[in-house]
Amino acid sequence: MLKAKLSVSEKIGMAVIGIVLATMVFLCIFPFYHMLVVAISNGTAVIQGKVTIWPIGFSLESFKQLFRDPYVGYAYKNTLLYVFLGTIINLFLTTMCAYPLSRHNLIGKKYFMGIIVFTMLFSGGMIPTYIMVAITLNLKNTFWAVLLLNGMSTFNMIVMRTFFITTIPESLVEAAKIDGANDIKIFTRVVLPLAKPILATMFLFYAVAQWNRFFDYMLFLNDKKTYPLQLLIRAMVIEGNLGETAQKQSAANDLFVSETGIKYAVILITVLPIIMLYPFIQKYLVKGQMVGSLKG
């Protein structure tokens, strides 16, 4: 490991950084740990508010409750399919949009950007959007409605474009041009290889967004077997969503598995798979640094 000589002030600085990061790590992990502990603890102890740091009793009943619903299986499968297809569409459209707009002398660039940024500020609203997708394009009850409607995110496109502008010097492009390469060639041979960090980031951003999406699926899909996971579990997570009546009518018997326990089990089960994605793309985000710091 690297052992560069540090001055006293730098040592203090590093110590401060260490403390700040350690605190943050604690603040970020603790809630998850707490949820896990509650989810596996005995429901009675949870309801009594005794469970904070150590689990009391042990039961996987909360998790079992969730998987008793046969639709959870379908939902997992659907989510994987939607995330996979959706992310491919997203990456394709975003790259196709971000790269040309990052070239500083593209004709009409200002107009294109203006047209695009306008849509970040103004939107027609849910009613005309629904009419466009479900009625005009006749995409009702198919997941394509949702995937196409969310074909790309302007925010992500701008992030990617900024990356292109800062990391790919115009001179590199000019040089390739002088060598006789056309824009397609430059894009595939020169730009894409340099764009790994941003492609990885975009992959992560889009996959996470696709994973978490529920509202549009709720709106456009009608067949329970095609629902993604988030749609299925959202109602379980939102307490009070059942409203006064359902609360009244959901008579008793919900006891030895606490409401909170099930809620936390649901959250963990839906969140963990997508969190696992990060380590895989992480190497693209630290690679440059690694080389540097090792040589440092």
Partner 1 sequence: MVQSSSIDRKPHQNSVWKHIKRDKYLLLMLILPMAYYALFKYGPMYGLLMGFENYKIKKGIIGSDFVGFKHFAKFLSDDLFWRAFKNTIVLNVLNLIVCFPAPILLALMINEIQYIQMKKFVQSVSYMPYFISTVVVCSIAISFFSNRGIINNLISGLGFERINFFLEARWFRPIYIFTDLWQHVGWDSIIYLAALAGCDMEVYEAAHIDGAGRFQQIWYITLPYLIPTISIMLILAMGKLMDVSFEKILLLQTPSTYEVSDVIATMVYRRGIQNVEFSYSTAIGTFQSLVSTIFIISANAISSKLSETSLF
Partner 2 sequence: MAKKVLGLVLALVLSLGSICAIADGPKDTWLFDEPVTITYMRPETSNQPFPEDNAVLNWISDNLGVNIDLILVMSDYEDKCKTLIATGDMPDIMVVDREPVAVAMQGEGQFLKVSDYFDLMPNYLEAQKDNVNFKRLMTADGDAYYLLTSTFFRYTGATAPAVRMDMLAASGLGTPVTFDDVYALLKNLKEQDPNSFPVSSRWSYSRIFETWAYPMGSGFEMYYEPRESKWIYGSITEDFKEIVSYFHNMYVDGILDPDFSINESSNFKERYAAGSSSYHFENSSFLMNYNAILADSVGKEAYFDLTPVPTNKYGESRQIGWGKFNYDDAILVNGDAKNPEQIVKVIDWFYSPKALEITNWGIEGVSFRYTEDGKRELIPEYAEQFIGTSDPWRSFMGSMGLGQLGLAMYIDEGTQAYYLDDVSAAQYDYIANDKAYAEPIMAPAFTDDELVELAELRTEIEAIIAPALEGMVTGAVSIDTFDDMAAKVRNAGATRIEEIYNNAEARMAAN
> Could you tell me the smallest distance in angstroms from the CB atom of residue 187 to partner 2?
40
The interface region with partner 2, picked from 19-27, 99-107, 181-189, 258-266 by CB under 8 A, is 258-266
Q: Rounded distance, CA 52 to CA 284, Å?
A: 37
The interface region with partner 1, picked from 36-44, 62-70, 93-101, 219-227 by CB under 8 A, is 93-101
For residue 203, the partner it binds in partner 2, partner 1, none, with Cβ less than 5 to 8 A by kind, is none
Does residue 188 bind partner 1 (CB under 8 A)? no
Nearer to partner 1 by Cβ, of 26 and 84: the residue is 26
Q: Rounded distance, CA 132 to CA 127, Å?
A: 9
Please tell me what DSSP assigns to residue 238: S
For residue 8, the partner it binds in partner 2, partner 1, none, with Cβ less than 5 to 8 A by kind, is none
Phi, psi (degrees; rounded to nearest 5) at 229 = -55, -45
Does residue 47 bind partner 1 (CB under 8 A)? no
Which of 8, 68, 127, 244 binds partner 1 (CB under 8 A)? It is 127
Does residue 219 bind partner 2 (CB under 8 A)? yes
Residues 129 and 135 sit within 8 Å (Cβ to Cβ): no
Residues 177 and 189 sit within 8 Å (Cβ to Cβ): no
Does residue 234 bind partner 2 (CB under 8 A)? yes
The residue among 234, 200, 216, 172 whose CA lies nearest residue 91 is 200
Does residue 6 bind partner 1 (CB under 8 A)? yes
> Could you tell me the smallest distance in angstroms from the CB atom of residue 33 to partner 2?
19
Residues 201 and 164 sit within 8 Å (Cβ to Cβ): no
The Cβ of residue 271 has, within 10 Å, a number of other Cβ atoms equal to 14
Nearer to partner 1 by Cβ, of 40 and 195: the residue is 195
Number of residues this chain uses to bind partner 2 (CB under 8 A)? 56
Written as one letter, the residue type at 143 is: F
Provide the phi-psi class of 152: left if phi over 0, else alpha when psi is between -120 and 50, else beta.
Answer: beta
Cα dist. 265→26, 28, 157, 252, 283 in Å? 21, 18, 35, 21, 30
Report the site for partner 2 in 176-195 (rule: CB under 8 A): none
> Could you tell me the smallest distance in angstroms from the CB atom of residue 210 to partner 1?
13
Binding site for partner 2 (CB under 8 A): 44, 47-50, 61, 65, 68-71, 126-127, 130-131, 134-135, 140, 214-215, 218-219, 222-225, 227, 231-232, 234-236, 238-260, 262
